[in-house]
Amino acid sequence: MRKKLMLFFLSMSLVTQAGMVWSKGAGSSAGYILTRTVSARAGGLADALGAVNNDVCGLHYNPAGIATLTSQQISLMSNRGIADDNFIALIYGHPSEKLSLGVSVIYYDAGTLEFYDSNLILRTKCAEKDVSAGLSIGKTVAQNLHAGGNLKFLSSTLVEDKTATALAIDLGLLYSINGGLTLGLSGLNIGSGLKYIKETDPLPTTIRGSVAYHLTNQLLLVGDDSYLVNEGQLVPAVGCEYEFNMFHIRTGYKFSSDTQGLNIGIGFNRKNFGVDYAFGLVNSLSNEHTISLKMAWGGIPESVKEKKVIEIEKKPVRKKSERTEKINIAVADFSGQNVSAADASIVAGFLRTELVNTGAFNVMDRANMEMVLAEQKFQLSGCTSEECAVKMGKLLNVQHMMVGSLSKLLDTYYITVNVVDVETGKILKSSDQKAMNADELRSACKILAGKLSEE
């Protein structure tokens, strides 16, 4: 635990230095809408979301985040401030093996403004109204390395009179390190300024270094250093998120003279739907309440998410206690969903090893399986149906075949295994197990092997 904490704070130091190498500036920026929190989860973590994988709202802080999505996601956030200002953010992400895409629309109005015109007539107008629309792209360019970019259009209107527009881009990189550590670096709001009358106000260009670290399966630590180029100001932020069943508890703190304060938040996720709430206390003078809704689809069904064993049909032959000798079995390479075929094959190998360790079966090793099947010109991978399992089992001369799949949704892996009787073609047992990250896959296979060897 101590070493993990040291690794997290060392990574924080590195991203801080990365942000400081950029040129300093002085002054102020326009385009306030581009710096706002876009989800209640981000709000609860003090906006330190720049290195968090598999969250569609992460593209607002680092566009490379869209390349880490494993399912389609949409997020809708609403925030109302104490000055009756309104902020709404709608973000959608569509992952793809080749190129992931995203779309975002953000709306802000600063509330009403009352004033007397030249004829001393009291008038009411919207103080400011801003709209931003963006297109995002992201791609995994190398193992564990993701890159992305945003193209954004901003329109800002003051007192329903003066309107200015601007174009901006965001660029970002994410690098994941084995052990649950992710580092991020992004340049945000790089582009033309807003010109309402004569002078042009620069956009809030920001250099952001981020780190996210899964200290345990349930505890996520995040850190962020945002360097505001025009203001010449560094704004550090830290946060943590704890997961308990379907609930998430969050807290974060942002160190800034303008926005310093404690943030807290909670979240509830059920199936592929989630609702989050955040409360932020800024300088003890004002507070913000934020709520957001999030939906994901296109991944595996919820039934696979829960740890359970479903006995489809008991074999109408001998019970385990009546066996005079061990049953001969073989494990086919798993199919993969949102994972590579190589990873699925490795996990199938984990299960073979753990089944051998139970001592309950005679397990055919992969090398012999390949040799026998190659002679018959039969593929070892891609066999998931009962018919295919029966055919493979007869070629291998085993009594039972184990076929299954490895799937990934967000940061969680799901292993599903069916035991097929080669003689009857019936499923004898089906078992599911989840792993919170890649490091837990071996342990998950050990649990599965224990379940599959039970009576």
Give yes or no on whether 25-310 and 326-451 have one common fold. no
pLDDT band at 82 (very low <50, low <70, confident <90, very high): low
The pLDDT assigned to 225 comes to: 94
Q: Worst-scoring range by mean pLDDT, 63-77, 124-138, 140-154, 304-318?
A: 304-318
The domain covering 25-310 belongs, at the CATH homologous superfamily level, to monomeric porin ompg (2.40.160.40)
Is the Cα torsion angle 357, 362, 367, 373 positive or negative in sign? negative
The domain covering 326-451 belongs, at the CATH homologous superfamily level, to TolB, N-terminal domain (3.40.50.10070)
Q: What is the dihedral of CA 349, 350, 356, 360, to 10 degrees?
A: -110
Using only the alpha carbons of the chain, give its radius of gyration: 27
Is pTM beyond 0.85 here?
Answer: no
Closest CA to 56 of 293, 301, 235, 271: 293
Q: What number is the average pLDDT over the span 415-439?
A: 88
- Higher pLDDT: 265 or 79? It is 265
Each domain of the chain, given as residue ranges in start order, spans 25-310, 326-451
High-pLDDT (> 90) share of the chain, %? 41
The pLDDT assigned to 261 comes to: 78
Q: Worst-scoring range by mean pLDDT, 17-31, 109-123, 204-218, 407-421?
A: 17-31
The pLDDT assigned to 166 comes to: 94
Q: How many CA atoms lie within 13 A of 389 on its CB side?
A: 28
Q: Compute the distance between CA of residue 162 and CA of residue 158 in angstroms, rounded to an integer.
A: 5
- pLDDT of residue 313 exceeding 50, the answer is no
Q: What angle do CA 54, 431, 329 make, to 5 degrees?
A: 120
- pLDDT of residue 239 exceeding 90, the answer is yes
Burial of 281 (0-12, 13-18, 19+ CB in 10 A): middle
Is the Cα torsion angle 435, 436, 437, 439 positive or negative in sign? negative
pLDDT band at 329 (very low <50, low <70, confident <90, very high): very high
Q: Is 73 left (phi over 0), alpha (psi -120 to 50) or beta?
A: beta
Closest CA to 59 of 95, 23, 85, 88: 95
Q: What number is the average pLDDT over the span 34-54?
A: 93
For residue 258, the SS3 value is coil
Q: What angle do CA 303, 308, 313 make, to 5 degrees?
A: 95
The pLDDT assigned to 455 comes to: 60
Q: What number is the average pLDDT over the span 59-70?
A: 94
Q: Worst-scoring range by mean pLDDT, 300-309, 356-365, 421-430?
A: 300-309
SS3 content of the chain, % helix, strand, coil (to 5): 20, 45, 30
Q: Worst-scoring range by mean pLDDT, 48-62, 72-86, 275-289, 432-446?
A: 275-289
The one-letter amino acid code at 217 reads N
The pLDDT assigned to 342 comes to: 85
Q: Compute the distance between CA of residue 170 and CA of residue 177 in angstroms, rounded to an integer.
A: 23
Q: What number is the average pLDDT over the span 137-166?
A: 92
Most confident of the ranges 172-176, 303-307, 352-356: 172-176
Most confident of the ranges 100-104, 197-201, 245-249: 100-104
pLDDT band at 335 (very low <50, low <70, confident <90, very high): confident
- pLDDT of residue 422 exceeding 70, the answer is yes
Q: Compute the distance between CA of residue 171 and CA of residue 59 in angstroms, rounded to an integer.
A: 10
Write out the H or E segment, with its range, that includes residue 41. helix 40-44
Per-residue pLDDT of 88-132, as tens digits, reads: 999 999 998 889 999 999 999 988 777 777 777 887 888 889 999
- pLDDT of residue 15 exceeding 70, the answer is no
Q: Which residues contact 168 (CB under 8 A, 6 or more apart)?
A: 31, 34, 151, 152, 154, 189, 190, 191, 192, 203
Q: What number is the average pLDDT over the span 174-192?
A: 90
The pLDDT assigned to 260 comes to: 64
What value does the mean pLDDT of the chain take? 83
pLDDT band at 236 (very low <50, low <70, confident <90, very high): very high
